[in-house]
Amino acid sequence: MAPLLSAQGLQVRYGAVEAVRGVSFEIQQGEIVALLGANGAGKSSILKAIVGLVPTASGQVMFDGRDITGAAPEGLAPAGLTLSPEGRRVFGTLSVSDNLRMGAFGLTDKDEIAEAWERVYDLFPILKERKDQYAGTLSGGQQQMLAVGRALMSNPRLLLLDEPSLGLAPLVMDQIFELIAKLRDQGVTLLVVEQNVAKTLQVADRGYILVSGKIVEAGNTSELTQSSSMQDAYLGAN
Ligand code: ATP
């Protein structure tokens, strides 16, 4: 079966810095794929390049049979591809429900928006309880849930998650990983960048190890767990 997403020879540059150096990978529908590597390895740059938040210096990205290299993010969300970026970028002075509304890219039909809200509130009942509160009054974990919830408002087929558990208390972190598994069960395909490697490998099907902008190993999670590249990738990091 053709992959849902594939990248061929993807390169990202920031001036003289070559952050991503010819990376190729693919994601099949229904998979949870992990992108692993130390700080600065280029993980966020790959996610941002996929959704057009940073320019692609060279290479090609295909999504659902379509060449989306360099496409603008606002066009991709309605097509089913959404990034939940690193850091809880919620709008603190907007209500929880208004924050979610902003993720409903391209939806104009009131019923569709109401359905999207309900879907997210089913996943995160705490957000429903707090829907009229300012997002800035939520705890860190709740803000992270809101950020993921906002990405889910566009009903993505492929969700790119950048460090969803960063800075969260262990119990809340567990909830995020439960959520990742639950989303897959609901039919969402996921590409996950995470610093919590052990937990990520528990939920993911496959992964890629990135060192200095290059993929040094690909495999299923048990292969990666035993891989010596894993040690190299995180040497001196974390
Ligand atoms: P982290 O976990 O720290 O986010 P990462 O693996 O996601 O790391 P990137 O954020 O993609 O890595 O960064 C890859 C390289 O590109 C690093 O050397 C970083 O300093 C550099 N970089 C990232 N963003 C920019 C930018 N806007 N301008 C210049 N250099 C950048």
- For residue 47, give the ligand 1 atom closest to its CA: 11
Ligand 1 centroid distance, CA of 163 (Å) = 13
Arithmetic mean of pLDDT, 150-171? 90
- Any domain includes 28: yes
> Ligand 1 pocket, 130 CB below 6 A?
no
Complex ipTM over 0.90 = yes
User: Which range of residues forms the domain containing residue 43?
Assistant: 5-87+156-234
- Any domain includes 69: yes
* Counts of helices then strands in the chain (DSSP H, E): 10, 10
pTM for this entry = 0.92
pLDDT in tens, 216-237: 999 999 888 888 877 777 754 4
CA distances from 73 to 84, 157, 188, 223 (A): 12, 15, 19, 34
- Any domain includes 104: no
> Ligand 1 pocket, 47 CB below 6 A?
no
- Any domain includes 125: no
- Any domain includes 94: no
115: left (phi over 0), alpha (psi -120 to 50) or beta: alpha
The CATH number assigned to the domain holding 83 equals 3.40.50.300
- Any domain includes 163: yes
Query: Which protein residue's CA is at the shortest distance from atom 27 of ligand 1?
Result: 14
pLDDT in tens, 89-118: 889 999 999 999 998 877 778 888 899 999
Please state the domain count of the chain.
1
- Any domain includes 135: no
